[in-house]
Structure 1
Amino acid sequence: MLSPPPFIDNEAIACAVAAHWLPEAAGADYLPWGFGAHHWRVTGGGTTLFVTLDQVEPRHTAASLEAAYAGAAALAATGMDTVCAPLPARSGRFTVDVGVGVLSVTPWLEGRSPTEAEAREPRHVGQIIDALAALHHAAPPDGLRYWAPRVGPAFADELRGRTARPWRSGPLAEEARTTIVACRGAIEDWTGRYHELADIALTRRDSWVPTHGEPHHDNQVVGVHGFKLVDWESLALAPRERDYADLLEAGVADRLDPDPAMVELFSLDWRLSEIDEYARWFAAPHTGTEDDHTALEGLREELSAAEA
């Protein structure tokens, strides 16, 4: 997230990291990176850690986050060197509940995420294909959750009810609500199609594989350590097409041989879950921060598919 969270400060983060991972932790610096979770750099005793605070609703539970991060660590332990694995706390677990969310920690990687253009260069695309092939052929870690639809069959009807009256929750609330209302018909069509495809996928669970869930360029880091996939909070068993969105946009479908129905499923999975999260965001109190404006642009982008 671009703005620090109002519900926990840097000192509390440093104290939690000192208590559970790095006793020498001397301080935490907030990092305005990504969109969804909050991140800090914590240093001490010559060690630098990357710290993530995930909130457990609506996308996660404490149990699902622990299973995902433990699963990533298990994959790395098998020799998958493209996995940037979380570090266990002194308890042996990979997450710590701090009341306002769940903390996890990874080593600090010196490097950077590639741009969208760089991520589509042939050499880099080859690295991603190889990394995902290794992941999809890996033995599933114990306890790894199965993917499930992220909105229910009644989502469109529920959203219609939630947007029936003006929102007074903040400066962008009404703009968000009316944007959603203008696309109600498309949302209804998408929801119906989504569950048709999900039903097909669920009949094939015995063929599902470990999937990252969001292996786009922002969740890749390149540097002296080579190529790494980061942010494993969405690790789950699913059809392999769950990981293919960016690769298909790069024009390498012939190298992946994806099932078109599953490609469509995970396009809708992303779109509808994003619409759901943005609807919750703007129905709740907000003040018009940079994050709020970024979220509104994200909502418009997801709904722009209705015009197509």
Structure 2
Amino acid sequence: MRDSELVSALADGWALEARSVSYLPVGAGSHHWAATGDDGRTWFVTVDDLGGENGENGEESGDGEGGVEEAFRGLGRALDTALALRRRAGLAFVVAPVPARTGATVWRLGPRHAVSLFPMLEGQSGQFGAHRQEDRAEVLGLLAELHRATPAVAADAPPADLALPGREGLREALDDLGRPWTGGPLSEPTRRLLAARAGHVERLLGDFDRLVERVRRAGAPPVVTHGEPHPGNLIRSATGLHLVDWDTVRLAPPERDLWMLDGDDDLLTGYTRATGRPVDPSALALYRLWWDLADIAAFVAELRGPHRVTGDIEASWTYLGGYLR
């Protein structure tokens, strides 16, 4: 994508005359730029690939023209929810998109991309992984506040299902272990690794299905969840913690967010006191396993398919090994 295309989209969508744009090598899945307007203010610009980049936990966002349109609508619905959480529910920690001149939160950029605009927030972001001990209580309070805001967006927020993203592709890979994989340099090592651990992966899939049934039988009402409230999606500014990257917002069990804080019974008891809702251990286990299996499925698909060895591919191989070894 040329910078000039992005500049044109910002002018058309937001009447933002960008005097400069610079690519930001941050995050994963989407692509990001800093755009500076004529007034000197800098904005954070996100471009999403609607036709094949991975969405929530490895799920493909679009396939063909119909899939691209569905992905565009889904992204818009998620970002509309983030904007409503900021404006309607008054959640100041939500870093919501800036509406375009039409009121839309996303703008088409060519046949398969969408652009969204956000305020540039000054602060320190974390990295993917466990929350620091000194941050955990504050993060829990933020999530409790988010979940309590459900009535403000329940009619419009996209719902989550309990299907495992990438499962079909992982199933195909497990059924195709008897012949060499020729997609790229790391395809055959991936096949051998998966073949050695196929029984383990099959057991994980069985555990996942049993946990899904337990959560479905419990029938607890959903809440609005972020989906990926890990440290990499939190920015600490002078005014406190802010939560970014809302394309994964869904109505779901609260444990979709809370599993990242599991292991601290006092903390989760505090969540129940703040919301009146008990935490379901089966749902915590489900979403922890969901994350692992979705990553395994995404890495196997990437390494099984056509590829060349890059830093990202080597990282995928390393992460897959961490899960399977």
TM-score bin (small chain)? 0.7 to 0.9
Secondary structure of the structure 2 residue equivalent to 1:103: strand
1:12-27 paired onto structure 2 within 5 Å: 12-27=5-20
Counterpart position of 1:147: 160
Q: Provide the rounded CA distance (Å) in 2 between the counterparts of 1:299 and 1:108.
A: 34
Aligned length: 296
- Structure 1 residues 116, 168: CA separation in 2 closer, same or farther (over 3 Å shift)? closer
Q: Provide the rounded CA distance (Å) in 2 between the counterparts of 1:11 and 1:153.
A: 39
> Which runs of 5 or more structure 1 residues have no equivalent in the other structure?
1-7
Measure how far apart 1:254 and its partner are: 4.0
Q: CA offsets per residue over residues 191-214 of structure 1, 9 Å max, x none?
A: 122122223333455611000000
2:85 to 71, 75, 81: 75
Measure how far apart 1:43 and its partner are: 1.4
Counterpart position of 2:202: 188
Which region of structure 1 is more displaced relative to structure 2, 163-172 or 186-195?
Answer: 163-172
- Structure 1 residues 277, 118: CA separation in 2 closer, same or farther (over 3 Å shift)? closer
- Structure 1 residues 184, 19: CA separation in 2 closer, same or farther (over 3 Å shift)? same
Tell me the percent identity: 32
Does 1:262 find its partner at 2:283?
Answer: yes
TM score, norm. by length of structure 1: 0.86
Does 1:135 find its partner at 2:129?
Answer: no
Letter in 2 for 1:112: Q
8 Å contact from structure 1 (residues 183, 303) kept in 2: yes
Does 1:281 find its partner at 2:294?
Answer: no
Secondary structure of the structure 2 residue equivalent to 1:244: helix
1:244 to 223, 233, 258: 258
Q: Provide the rounded CA distance (Å) in 1 between the counterparts of 2:116 and 2:218.
A: 32
Q: Provide the rounded CA distance (Å) in 2 between the counterparts of 1:119 and 1:157.
A: 32
Q: CA offsets per residue over residues 279-298 of structure 1, 9 Å max, x none?
A: 22123322212111122222
Counterpart position of 2:107: 96
Q: Provide the rounded CA distance (Å) in 2 between the counterparts of 1:259 and 1:118.
A: 20
8 Å contact from structure 1 (residues 220, 228) kept in 2: yes
Counterpart position of 1:271: 292
Letter in 2 for 1:223: S
> Which runs of 5 or more structure 2 residues have no equivalent in the other structure?
53-58, 62-70, 272-277
Measure how far apart 1:121 and its partner are: 3.2
Measure how far apart 1:179 and its partner are: 2.3
Counterpart position of 1:54: 48
Q: CA offsets per residue over residues 92-128 of structure 1, 9 Å max, x none?
A: 2112233333222211011111357994233x22221
Q: Provide the rounded CA distance (Å) in 2 between the counterparts of 1:234 and 1:51.
A: 17
8 Å contact from structure 2 (residues 15, 101) kept in 1: no
Secondary structure of the structure 1 residue equivalent to 2:34: strand
Does 1:113 find its partner at 2:125?
Answer: yes
